[in-house]
Amino acid sequence: MMSAPSPEDRPAPETLSSVFHVYEVRERGERLLYFGEPLANQQRIMEAVWPAFREAGYEVHLTRQTGEFVLVAEPRSVGEDAIPWTNVALFVATVLSTLFVGAQWYYVRDPLSTAIVSAIPFTLAVMGVLGTHELGHYVMSRYHDVDASLPYFIPFPTIVGTMGAVIRMRGQIPDREALFDIGVAGPIAGLLATVVVSAVGLMLPPVAVPEWVLAAQSTVEVEFGYPPLLHAIAWQLDAPLVYDDPTKVINPVVIGGWVGMFITFLNLIPVGQLDGGHILRAMVGPAQERIAPLVPTALFALAGYLFFVRDVGQVVGIWVLWGIMAAIVSAFGSARPIDDSPLDGRRVAIGIVTFVIGALCFTPVPIQIVGP
């Protein structure tokens, strides 16, 4: 966290006069409101005034209040001011939900019993890849002095016990370099954790399917579609992903690696505030807004192909849902850094490699459920 800036340090109205004519300054608590008339477009104003406010310890944005233009300055805070109880509660809830779901992957008959501890490796795998991804964003945000929250885990009794994790960006992005670094840090960190988790899981022994599961009429079979990256890791380790023996299934830790790859691909979809949107916006600038509308179209086309050509009805809903989400986040637009100068060639190359690796995490049919 940072200490509150002193009122004496606030930018003087005359220092803003080249782009914003200030006729009144008000204080509302720790916030400063500069009422005035803009003398340039919003991007130019922010480029001119943001450095002065940042140096004085404020975040600033231009808005309108009751018909007047206002520069609203709020004290910057990088880090947490107190124990983040919401983050802690969600983390604990997600640990419990992944333990509960993971116990079923280990064929624990009563997941509410102490036998649930057998699912700890699964929970560590899933929480590890998700947490590493989000901590990559958080660490790089701190490096660039951009205010961001700690990860918020999302507990949900899905097939893996969670809907992922997110961090909340509370500060403005200073330039394309920061936008790129923050955006790419999550997928890269998460991929490293995913490769490690996948390799460990493939080296662990398979799980035996109990007789009571094989005999139950209500038993369903879950078939995972493994992406090329997971196949490559399995090939390198000479480890099977599927067993011929129906009484053996892959160790659930591998599912943690599968989760990491699936989440990586989804996050690298190049629209809006997704990681891929940040990376592409930093790489190509405003041209990203012309590319973004193509993404939901591609996802809807994929859903149509799977439904009409492949006749894989179950998975269609996943890509229709993500097509809708991509359209929504695309409509909200991407992040706009204060300094929109072009990105350097080294980072562009890293971005291209990241998208290529992300493509290796893609599988058109990620999961299917075969009924009893």
Across the range 322-346, mean pLDDT stands at 92
The helix or strand, by DSSP H or E, that contains position 136, with its residue range, turns out to be helix 120-143
Query: Which strands form 68-75's sheet, in the order they lie side by side?
Result: 20-28, 31-38, 68-75, 58-65
- Spatial separation of the C-alpha atoms in residues 94 and 99, rounded to whole Å: 8
Cβ atoms < 10 Å from Cβ of 36: 20
With pLDDT > 90 as the criterion, what percentage of the chain qualifies?
70
- Spatial separation of the C-alpha atoms in residues 126 and 33, rounded to whole Å: 45
Which CATH number applies to 7-75?
3.30.1360
**351: which 2 tokens?**
């971005």
Of the two residues 57 and 304, the one the predictor is more confident about is 304
What is the per-residue pLDDT for 8? 65
What is the per-residue pLDDT for 78? 59
- Spatial separation of the C-alpha atoms in residues 195 and 342, rounded to whole Å: 32
pTM recorded for the entire structure: 0.89
Residues 20-72: pLDDT tens digits? 999 999 999 889 999 999 999 998 999 999 999 988 889 899 999 889 999 99
User: Taking each helix axis from N to C terminus, what angle separates 252-267 and 85-105, rounded to the nearest 10 degrees?
Assistant: 130
What is the per-residue pLDDT for 327? 93
Residues 233-244: pLDDT tens digits? 999 999 999 988
What is the per-residue pLDDT for 349? 97
Cβ atoms < 10 Å from Cβ of 280: 25
Domain boundaries, the chain: 7-75, 85-292+333-370
- Spatial separation of the C-alpha atoms in residues 366 and 201, rounded to whole Å: 18
Q: Give the C-alpha distances (Å, rounded to integers) separating 131 from 19, 72, 76, 202.
A: 42, 34, 25, 21
Residue 118 CB partners (closer than 8 Å, separation 6+):
103, 106, 108
